[in-house]
């Protein structure tokens, strides 16, 4: 079923989250972010929707959570959810993005970006606030909509964040995809599947190890003769 509930409730074009308050987004999975701004009076409603989304995604799983249920949890009309976030995948992308500070890399030394990313991506998991994302990781192999939600997070947050640090990198999306293999792989093994020894590894050791791998993916020459970024 192609988002039937969302289509009925939609009040505007789809967006993907790019900021913690849900005021920015990207139109469609895999496209550059498109800015959407709302007045300050909408902030309480947006915060309530994000909190409700975390609760419902964690409790119901991504596939069973509905826009109507999230709206009811937040005490708002479903059309308001659609207006701010466009779709369930867009709402999920912002819900996850609100826990990860990836946007500003301007003050991070290039040689430290790998460690910075590893910590920014894994800290929410370690703090136990990514139960919604864990539900999506479990669902993604068998539910296309959950997989699209992960793609939305990739397109709406990770790629733009990296572009700020590597504006002239021609293979940026390839490098960003390799970064996701490290961050999602570590999260899956440690927090979802609880595979040893990763599950009980010292957290700082995990961050250093994953960060070193991410640094290589971002700065080392890619196979095929691509130039290094750093």
Q: What is the pLDDT of residues 145-173, one digit of tens each?
A: 778 777 777 777 788 888 888 888 999 99
Tokens of 149: 């939600």
User: Rounded to whole angstroms, what are the CA distances from 93 to 15, 32, 51?
Assistant: 10, 14, 13
Confidence check: pLDDT of 3 > 90: no
Tokens of 224: 């095929």
61-70, 125-134, 204-213: least confident range: 125-134
Exposure b/e, 15-25, CB count within 10 A at least 16 = b: bbbbbbbbbbb
Confidence check: pLDDT of 1 > 70: no
* Domains of the chain, each with CATH number or no CATH: 4-97 (1.10.10.60), 110-219 (1.10.357)
Exposure b/e, 99-118, CB count within 10 A at least 16 = b: bbebbebeebeeeebbbbbb
Q: What is the mean pLDDT of the chain?
A: 76
pTM here is 0.64
**pLDDT at position 98, please?**
57
CA angle 118, 53, 74 (to 5 degrees): 145
DSSP state letters, 135-193: HHHHHTTT-HHHHHHHHHHIIIIIHHHHHHH-TT-TTHHHHHHHHHHHHHHHHIIIIIS
Q: What is the pLDDT of residues 96-137, one digit of tens each?
A: 655 555 656 767 888 899 998 899 888 888 887 667 677 777
């Amino acid at each position: 079923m192609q988002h039937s509930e969302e289509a009925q409730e939609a009040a505007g074009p789809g967006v993907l989250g790019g900021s913690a308050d849900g005021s920015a987004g990207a139109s469609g999975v895999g496209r550059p972010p498109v800015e959407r701004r709302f007045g300050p009076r909408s902030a309480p409603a947006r915060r309530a929707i994000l909190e409700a989304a975390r609760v419902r995604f964690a409790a119901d799983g991504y596939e069973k959570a509905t826009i109507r249920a999230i709206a009811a949890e937040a005490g708002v009309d479903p059309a308001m959810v659609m207006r701010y976030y466009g779709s369930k995948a867009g709402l999920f992308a912002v819900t996850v993005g609100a826990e990860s500070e990836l946007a500003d890399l301007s003050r991070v030394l290039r040689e430290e970006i790998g460690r910075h990313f590893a910590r920014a991506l894994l800290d929410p998991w370690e703090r136990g606030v990514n139960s919604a994302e864990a539900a999506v990781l479990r669902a993604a192999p068998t539910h296309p909509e959950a997989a699209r939600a992960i793609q939305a997070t990739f397109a709406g947050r990770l790629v733009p964040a990296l572009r700020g640090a590597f504006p002239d990198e021609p293979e940026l999306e390839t490098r960003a995809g390799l970064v996701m293999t490290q961050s999602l792989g570590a999260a899956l093994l440690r927090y979802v599947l609880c595979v040893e020894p990763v599950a009980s590894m010292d957290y700082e050791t995990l961050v250093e190890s994953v960060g070193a791998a991410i640094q290589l993916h971002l700065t080392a020459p890619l196979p095929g003769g691509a130039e290094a970024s750093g």
